[in-house]
Chain A
Amino acid sequence: MSAAPAALARGLGRARSAERSVWVGWGGVALGFLAFYLALPPLLIRSAVPSLVVSAAAVAAGAWTVGAGRRRLGWGAVVAGVFGAIGAVAATRSAVGNLENVVVWSALVAAMLRYATPLTFAALGGVVSERSGVVNIGLEGMMLTGAFFAIWGADQTGGWVGGLLVGMLAGGLLALVHAVFAISLRADQIVSGTAINLLALGITGYVFLHDYGNQGTPEGLPQAPDVHLPLGGIPVLESLQNLNVLVWLSLALVPLVWLAIFRTPLGLRLRSVGENPRAAATVGISVLRTRYLAVVASGMLAAMGGAFLSIGFVHSFSQNMTAGRGFIALAAVIFGKWRPGGALAAALLFGFSSALAQRLPVFSPSTATLLQALPYVLTLVAVAGLIGRSTPPAADGVPYTKE
């Protein structure tokens, strides 16, 4: 029986080193970025040697973290180190002019935030719905509905707030359809979510063409305004000076949704319904009502993401304009482990890859496109559990019956 104390001691050691491995892991990730950063403007070190040393340190830190049991973070650091090295070598070999053209940090950060915003909204919606135990493949459709009806509403009401509300209402209604089928009729949630996407595509396309014809939405419809902050000239914060109000709203919603899910009575009930609906029912919680609420809220959140696209970003609508962003949001939900903060981090990562893809064509137009696939590849890796498994709420996707 001497094995037991030894195992216990090892376990305790691991528990103590857990804190440390988090720091080392994140340090590794930071080093990986630093390696790349050294070779970029404004520092622009024209030799790859310092970067390679730093990235080697990043890989080492990552390997240690993996060894300490934090696989996802550890591999993240290793990957950051490798990419840092590759990026730095590539940067030192390309012309300074090109580099200064592409790597405009303030513009990159601003673009990242803009690309991340629709994803953040919809991913928050996904988190809310799946935490209650209803899988929402229909995020894409709810987003698209929000996008169209926000601009349609802005047209009808003559103000962007009215537009946003109309968009949210439409998204909520579509979500209600999903809720009726997924919750009350105990439909297969994936199938009914797929149906929601098809319906949204058809309905928005139909009404759009019927109301606006081939000319598309007219110019000069009300738009969600930008927020001007006097931050010009300050190195990093500069990028935040001209962002849309909806960008800020999405960022503000992340802690709010987190609070709602993890620190309010309603959130506690929501999670209990998603984890063990029968347990929730035995203490008197209405599983159906809670799930309805969550799904409709999720539709409204997703619709806000769509509304940002149409009245905050592009200022027009075109058929199928969400083009798969709802599925990236779904990916962000999974990659972010069903947590609002995690979903935001994933949305920012995916947003950054989009922003980079947008600016990279200076070097190689075709490779930039491949960057667009990054969110999907990363999510594939995440669901496969290669870098630490993402575990959904226990009752996610299971229709509830009273027996």
Chain B
Amino acid sequence: MHALLGENGAGKSTLMSVLYGLYRPDEGVLRLEGEPTTIDSPRRAIELGIGMVHQHFMLVPVMTVAENIVLADEPRRGLLLDVRAAAERVRELSDRYGLAVDPYARVGDVSVGTQQRVEILRALYRGADVLILDEPTAVLTAQETAELFKILRALTAEGKSVAFISHKLREVLAISDRVSVLRRGKKVATVDTAGATEESLAKLMVGREVLFRVAKEARATGDALLRVAGLEVDDDRGLHAVRDVSFEVHGGEIVGVAGVDDNGQAELVEALTGLRRPLAGTIEVAGHDVTAAGVRGKLAAGIGHIAEDRHRRGLVLDFSLSENLCLREYRKPLLSRLGLLSPKKMNQRAGPLLEEYDVRGGSCDTLASALSGGNQQKVVIAREIAQEPAVLVAAQPTRGLDVGAIEFVHRRLVEQRDAGRAVLLVSLELDELRSLADRVLVLYDGQIVAELAPEASEEEFGVAMLGGGQREQPA
């Protein structure tokens, strides 16, 4: 079992997609059992015995488990699909490898862990000898992860090869025989797991020993500007995503929210910024209750929001920069009167912001889509900070940015803190949280399970993020 380790964006998923024929390599040779081969399509990869379990499952929710597994390689009876034979084959495979599934269940109705088993079974059904798993534990509970590992061990015992992509040190150490570490698209090293430790791998992965710290002075904190109590929020599927969350953010501090992806962060942010209506609990800004307010109300109350996905939410890519910069305040009398907008005033507002925030590659009339990611994010940040919010909610503000842009964003966030504002920083990057935040809340399964100082060890964070050692509660 071979693990592939690297930070977000180090090129792990891309490499594996090349192996599976989803992308074509620009250059280089691929050898399978010593033979150079080209894999130009998933079909070819399947023929060669390579199976892939995708990070985002490639399943059809409305079809049954058996239908999903046999898709594109169906048992037939005459012209027809042999449904019974398909279910029989699925049952055989699931018995042999200990992957319990009900062949007739609809994939959309079964749990995430089961869906992953379906993906593994699909690869096995096609006779895969090499199994690639792309961050398979990202969506699993601790219990499901343990079960997955058991399955993977059984598979290797049967003589299958498993390539395991992850950025979680502990998992890699627990499961793999050898580890290759990627950094910025290059293989840094391949080591035997036996001799490796968390620290040695982390060093290879990050490429530097010390944490990158933002120059930041200690400051006395002010009053509580954001106070959240007993917040309960549902997600789109109507499941409880945020459960009984209470915390405060004071003026002059950055509070980080850590956690594995999809543990309620998105819903928490949406509730705070008025995009989602909370079921229960209160949200107060500087002592005023704004729980029921919508987007405009929350904004007026002083909550700024650097949205998680600048393409989906933060920007209208087909709008000009000045139109984008006015997205949050176009209704203010400053920019419009009697329902009519003034382009001149919009430009007067936008121009200085573009300069102040050093947005390169465009002027007021340039379309947002023409800018690079870093400059797009500068536009979003400029707009939000220009509102002079009492509370700034920043959701993954550095996602997909290069080092220079990340530094810029970090500096701006610290500036806001130093100006006495309350900053809530939600991030998946532990490094970022530890270097920026004054204290860090850990969100697990919609609950705050710990509050840690940024100086706490990675071990402590890891334990908390994975549920703090507490056992899964029965549902």
A interface, CB within 8 angstroms of B: 259, 263-265, 267-269, 271-272, 275-276, 278-285, 394
Beyond A271-B60, A272-B60, is A280–B81 a contact (Cβ under 8 Å)? Answer: no
- Residues on B with C-beta less than 8 A from A275 are 60-63
B63 touches A272 (CB 8 A): yes
Query: Would you call the interface of chain B mostly helix, strand, loop, or mixed?
Result: loop
Complex CA–CA separation, A267 to B74 (angstroms): 11
Beyond A265-B76, A265-B81, A268-B67, is A282–B58 a contact (Cβ under 8 Å)? Answer: yes
- Residues on A with C-beta less than 8 A from B122 are 283
Q: At the interface with chain A, which of B41-49, B187-195, B208-216, B242-250?
A: B41-49
Q: Is B71 an interface residue (CB 8 A)?
A: yes
Complex CA–CA separation, A243 to B59 (angstroms): 45
Beyond A279-B59, A282-B54, is A272–B71 a contact (Cβ under 8 Å)? Answer: yes
11 A-B Cβ contacts within 8 A? A264-B79, A265-B81, A268-B71, A269-B72, A271-B63, A272-B63, A276-B58, A276-B59, A282-B22, A283-B122, A284-B42
- Residues on A with C-beta less than 8 A from B43 are 284
Complex CA–CA separation, A276 to B61 (angstroms): 9
Closest 9 CB pairs of A and B: A284-B43, A279-B58, A265-B74, A283-B72, A275-B60, A282-B58, A276-B60, A284-B42, A272-B60
B interface, CB within 8 angstroms of A: 20, 22, 41-43, 46, 52, 54, 57-63, 67, 70-74, 76, 79-81, 83, 122, 126
Q: Which of B62, B71, B73 contacts A280 (CB 8 A)?
A: B71
- Residues on B with C-beta less than 8 A from A276 are 58-61
A285 touches B59 (CB 8 A): no
Task: Please give me the residue from chain B that is nearest to A275 by CB atom.
Answer: B60
Complex CA–CA separation, A268 to B62 (angstroms): 11
- Residue in A259, A267, A282 with the greatest tally of chain B CB atoms within 10 Å: A282
Complex CA–CA separation, A271 to B126 (angstroms): 20
B52 touches A282 (CB 8 A): yes
- Residues on B with C-beta less than 8 A from A281 are 42
Q: Which of A265, A278, A394 contacts B58 (CB 8 A)?
A: A278
Beyond A283-B46, A284-B41, is A263–B60 a contact (Cβ under 8 Å)? Answer: no
B81 touches A267 (CB 8 A): yes
Least Cβ distance of B279 to chain A in Å?
14
Complex CA–CA separation, A394 to B60 (angstroms): 9
Complex CA–CA separation, A281 to B21 (angstroms): 11
- Residue in A265, A268, A283 with the greatest tally of chain B CB atoms within 10 Å: A283
B72 touches A284 (CB 8 A): yes
Least Cβ distance of A265 to chain B in Å?
4
B41 touches A268 (CB 8 A): no
Complex CA–CA separation, A282 to B46 (angstroms): 9
Complex CA–CA separation, A285 to B60 (angstroms): 13
Task: Please give me the residue from chain A that is nearest to B474 by CB atom.
Answer: A1
Complex CA–CA separation, A267 to B59 (angstroms): 16
Q: Which of B22, B52, B81 contacts A264 (CB 8 A)?
A: B81
- Residue in A259, A268, A285 with the greatest tally of chain B CB atoms within 10 Å: A268
Beyond A264-B80, A265-B81, is A283–B61 a contact (Cβ under 8 Å)? Answer: no
Task: Please give me the residue from chain B that is nearest to A391 by CB atom.
Answer: B62
Task: Please give me the residue from chain A that is nearest to B79 by CB atom.
Answer: A264
A268 touches B61 (CB 8 A): no
Least Cβ distance of A297 to chain B in Å?
16
B80 touches A263 (CB 8 A): yes
B80 touches A282 (CB 8 A): no
Least Cβ distance of A2 to chain B in Å?
14
Extra contacts besides A259-B80, A280-B60 (19): CB < 8 Å: A263-B83, A265-B74, A265-B76, A267-B81, A268-B67, A268-B81, A269-B71, A269-B72, A271-B62, A272-B60, A275-B62, A279-B59, A282-B20, A282-B52, A282-B54, A282-B58, A283-B58, A284-B41, A284-B72
Complex CA–CA separation, A267 to B57 (angstroms): 21
Complex CA–CA separation, A284 to B42 (angstroms): 5
Least Cβ distance of A81 to chain B in Å?
33
A285 touches B71 (CB 8 A): yes
B42 touches A268 (CB 8 A): no
Task: Please give me the residue from chain A that is nearest to B76 by CB atom.
Answer: A265
- Residues on B with C-beta less than 8 A from A284 are 41-43, 46, 72
- Residue in A259, A275, A279, A394 with the greatest tally of chain B CB atoms within 10 Å: A279
- Residues on B with C-beta less than 8 A from A269 are 71-72
Least Cβ distance of B115 to chain A in Å?
11
Least Cβ distance of B341 to chain A in Å?
28
Least Cβ distance of A78 to chain B in Å?
28
Task: Please give me the residue from chain B that is nearest to A281 by CB atom.
Answer: B42
